[in-house]
Amino acid sequence: MNHPRIVVIGSANIDLVTRVPRAPKPGESLIGRSFATITGGKGANQAVAAARLGAKTLFAGCVGADAFGAMQRQSMSEAGVDVSRLKMHPSEPTGTAVILVADTGENVIVITPAANYGLTPEDIAALEPDLDGADAVLLQLEIPLETVEAALAAARRRGVVSILDAGPAQQVPERLVAWADIVSPNETEAEAMTGIRVETLADARRAASALRAMGAAHVVLKLGARGAYYLGDREMHAPPFRVKPVDTTAAGDAFTAALAAAWGRMPVEAALRFANAAGALATTVAGAQPSMPTRAAVEAMLRDGPQET
């Protein structure tokens, strides 16, 4: 099988990660267990994941002229990502994410986009020819919405499948949902977009139907420990792989990148299973980019289990 070509347009952050026994209550001070500075950002994580999964990957984003920006450039380059479209902001620092990871593996994240907001619709116009022949364009919501909109329009003009990972949670104009070929939120993001709280598979069906009514051709809901739910011309639930999570940060990014690498190359059911395996593997390693799995690891998981339940 030839390698997919994927273009990721999005954020590159440095994650400032403190491990805590549990999330603090408002006004409470907690003693952390450890602290680490780790490469992250939904866009950059997805680019690293796509490259590790064997895709020829181009990343477009914007970092600051600082040590964090250099860290990010190095991490993506080492993973094999083409960073020729990674800009350097003249004044803003590299984006950061302050992350608390509890002993359960669950996290809370606060992002300061900074240089990420320097990626403009003009940058998309300049890179549009790079989209020709790509298998997929991956977008998230940590860069300006007008840049996301320009990228979705460019993908449509060039006949490239676009996948909108709807994180972090926010209300988005309906046209963004309509212009993306695949819309892929998690439960919180789906609620922000539709107003429907997603706690059960029936809720997932309702939220996905609402996104379809806004114009999304394909909806892939990331349900974490409940797997994934697909609604397009048919519906499907892909059960999760049971693993013991260490850190759930960027599991959704691994899922989205794997979905992009598999889409159109295997039946939807197999693509969801491939993405679920990548997401589950990402939870077994601490940190965002360090946890993005290789294709060999995903294939081993699909072959040898643990099986889905």
Contacts with 141 (C-beta within 8 Å, 6 or more apart), sequence order = 148, 165, 166, 167, 168, 170, 172
Q: Is position 50 an interface residue for ligand RIB (rule: CB under 6 A)?
A: no
Bridge partners, residue 96, by sequence = 14, 112
Give first-to-last CA distance, the chain, whole Å.
Answer: 29
Q: What residues from 237 to 256 belong to the interface with ligand RIB (CB under 6 A)?
A: 249-250, 252-253
Q: What residues from 69 to 108 belong to the interface with ligand RIB (CB under 6 A)?
A: 97
Which of 23, 65, 109, 214 touches ligand RIB (CB under 6 A)?
109
Which of 41, 61, 118, 240 touches ligand RIB (CB under 6 A)?
41
Distance CA 302, CA 264 (A): 19
Work out the number of other CB atoms within 10 angstroms of the CB of residue 300: 14
Pairing between strand 161-165 and 182-184? parallel
Listed as own residue / partner, the contacts of 78-84 with beta carbons closer than 8 Å and 24 or more positions apart are: 79/47, 79/48, 79/51, 79/52, 79/289, 79/292, 80/51, 80/52, 81/8, 81/47, 81/48, 81/50, 81/51, 81/57, 82/56, 82/57, 82/58, 83/59, 84/58
Q: Is position 142 an interface residue for ligand RIB (rule: CB under 6 A)?
A: yes
Which of 5, 19, 42, 218 touches ligand RIB (CB under 6 A)?
42
Work out how close the CB of 37 gets to ligand RIB at its nearest, in angstroms, rounded to a whole number: 12
Work out how close the CB of 252 gets to ligand RIB at its nearest, in angstroms, rounded to a whole number: 6
Based on C-alpha coordinates, what's the Rg of the chain?
18
Question: Which C-beta is closer to ligand RIB: that of 135 or that of 142?
Answer: 142
Residues that bind ligand RIB (rule: CB under 6 A) add up to a total of 16
The window from 35-43, 79-87, 124-132, 204-212 that contacts ligand RIB (CB under 6 A) reads 35-43
Question: Which C-beta is closer to ligand RIB: that of 130 or that of 147?
Answer: 147
The window from 34-42, 192-200, 218-226, 227-235 that contacts ligand RIB (CB under 6 A) reads 34-42
Q: Is 203 a residue of the active site?
A: no
Contact 18, 101 (CB under 8 A): yes
Interface positions with ligand RIB (CB under 6 A) = 11, 13, 15, 40-42, 45, 97, 109, 111, 142, 249-250, 252-253, 288
Catalytic annotation, residues: 253
